[in-house]
Amino acid sequence: MFNSLSDRLTSTFKNLRGKGRLSESDINSTIRDIRLALIDADVATPVVREFTGRVRERALGAEVSQALNPGQQVVKIVNEELVGVLGGQTRELQMAKHPPTVIMLAGLQGSGKTTFAGKLARFLRDKGHFPVLVAADLQRPNAVTQLEVVAERAGVPCFAPEPGNVGGHDAATAEGTQSYGDPVWVARAGVGQAKVRQYDVVIVDTAGRLAVDENLMQQAADIRDAIQPDEVLFVIDAMIGQAAIETALAFQKGVDFTGVVLSKLDGDARGGAALSVASVTGRPIMFSSIGEQTKDIEVFHPDRMASRILDMGDVLTLIEQAEKAFDRDQAAAMARKFMDEEDFTFDDFLQQMAAIKKMGNLKALMGMMPGMSGMKEQLANLDEREFDRVEAMVRSMTPFERTHPKQINGSRRARIAGGSGVTVSEVNSLLERFGQAQKMMRQMRRGGGMPGMPGLPGGGAKRGKQQPKKKGKSGNPAKRAQQEAAAAQKATGARDKAMGSAFGQQEEQDFSNLKLPKGFEKFLGPGANKD
């Protein structure tokens, strides 16, 4: 969504690299480039003016002039101000003290309210709640049916006592001559049913229009007065451009929403106007919708989104998605196999591939990694169907072949190729890459690090240096037993270090002597010293 803005800002900051001192002319030039980038991205003009003013004031002060690296300090200032424009702090749903928690969705027709209702329901269900969807959009053709389908996909119930508009006739053009039911009654009845059946969250999907009008606002206001929701979420299409500001202000006046949801963030529009909503309305962005599936929903973190825009990546979100996708028991089994020096098999490979698929769109995941702006073309050409072809080859193998890949001879390779619809050369390539992966795992287990990278501390041999000759075993039984115990302890230590590196465990390090910016210690992990 924000590729254009990210590219422009990244290019602007490249001009500051390597400069030991920034003149006022350098700062003014940078501010001008930032202003043009924001305007080109459709960010609202008042927001651009206020943002660049704050950046310029801080950049011309002692904060930059006394910095060891002024260029990086300017990037830090822009990042902090961008976080402020996006809302500052992460805002989560406020759950009612006495269930059910009532959440009302509002927005224009086509903004993605109904789809988001299913995503939010699944999001809350995965957190241990028991949500129910209420179909209070009775005007849009087949809106009730769509919500029922979305609810089924999300695995939650749907309360739909009225069929709504099922004939394909839009009530907006009926000039009041046709009625499809009372949405206010449906919303009130839905909350009542939730109390009786002990659902702890009620998500009410309301009607929208193609443009802001008095009937829409009045109906939304009547529903709000009837159900007294704990949260009113305004769903806005991130691709509608400058109209986002006008629409948001109209809904704030008519319904007074408590939070914003950005939908269709997986699109390719500039999207800057949507980023202005939080600053203009004073209401936080709470969720972002990033795809069509019910799992494609993210809590909106202003600091993480700012990092994405500035091409610093979003490693925290990537880790969170990995934690949800990877099964703890499978991870423990992999760790045990690693420690017991068992070889990585194709069955393990299938489990890892399934976990990666659970994490979502691979291109989106790769885009969360720092410094990926220079690889947009490679990401665009990434063919995710390659995963399906590899999986087909593995599933064409017998259980024996999956655990004994070295026994796959020519006739077996031909059979696998025929069963998976690929060529023998593709099977050969897979087996070759898999062999390299096994070799890498063995090398890491011995403490030698990954191929082509420095070895782990205390483990592995370095190339180009003569290896010390091994001492012969002593003829004395007691001394020989002592030598064997020392060797076993050394091997265990090497494996433990490799294990810690491979599975995210790190030794505590002393960072007390480093002069770090305030707040930077949170990036150093649990082993960082806290003063």
The answer to whether 264 is a known ligand-binding residue is yes
The answer to whether 208 is a known ligand-binding residue is yes
> What does the DSSP assignment read for 388-400?
HHHHHHHHTS-HH
Q: Is 297 helix (H, G, I), strand (E, B) or coil?
A: strand
Write the CB contacts of 273 (distance below 8 Å, at least 6 apart in sequence): 42, 43, 44, 240, 241, 242, 243, 244, 245
d(C-alpha 303, C-alpha 314), whole Å: 9
Question: CATH code for 319-445?
Answer: 1.10.260.30
The answer to whether 10 is a known ligand-binding residue is no
pLDDT for 125: 93
Residue spans per domain, the chain: 3-85, 101-308, 319-445
| Residue 25, both tokens | 């002319």
The answer to whether 465 is a known ligand-binding residue is no
The answer to whether the CB of 298 falls within 8 A of the CB of 401 is no
Domain 3-85 class in CATH? mainly alpha
- Specify the amino acid at residue 181: G
Write the CB contacts of 527 (distance below 8 Å, at least 6 apart in sequence): 506, 507, 508, 509
- pTM value surpassing 0.75: no
d(C-alpha 320, C-alpha 303), whole Å: 15
| Residue 359, both tokens | 């994490």
Pairing of strands 101-106, 231-237: parallel
The answer to whether 460 is a known ligand-binding residue is no
Q: In 84-239, which ranges are E strands?
A: 101-106, 131-135, 158-159, 201-205, 231-237
Give 12-32 as a 3 state SS string.
Answer: HHHCCCCCCCCCHHHHHHHHH
The answer to whether 265 is a known ligand-binding residue is yes
| Residue 151, both tokens | 């609810």
The answer to whether 283 is a known ligand-binding residue is no
Q: Find where tokens 């109390």 sit.
A: 195
Domain 101-308 class in CATH? alpha beta
The answer to whether 107 is a known ligand-binding residue is yes
d(C-alpha 418, C-alpha 426), whole Å: 11
> Tens of pLDDT along the chain (531 residues)?
566 677 777 777 777 776 667 778 888 888 888 888 888 877 888 888 888 888 888 888 766 666 556 777 788 888 888 888 888 888 889 899 888 999 999 988 888 899 999 999 999 999 999 999 999 988 888 889 999 999 999 999 999 988 877 765 544 444 444 556 789 999 999 999 999 999 999 999 998 877 777 888 888 899 999 999 999 999 988 777 777 788 888 888 888 899 999 888 776 666 676 678 888 888 888 998 887 888 888 888 888 777 777 765 545 555 555 555 556 666 666 566 655 556 667 877 777 777 666 665 555 555 555 555 555 555 555 566 777 888 889 889 998 888 888 888 999 999 999 998 889 998 998 888 888 877 776 776 565 444 444 443 444 444 444 445 555 555 677 777 777 777 777 766 655 554 444 334 444 445 455 444 555 454 444 444 444
The answer to whether 332 is a known ligand-binding residue is no
The answer to whether 177 is a known ligand-binding residue is no
What's the DSSP call for residue 303? Answer: H
The answer to whether 114 is a known ligand-binding residue is yes
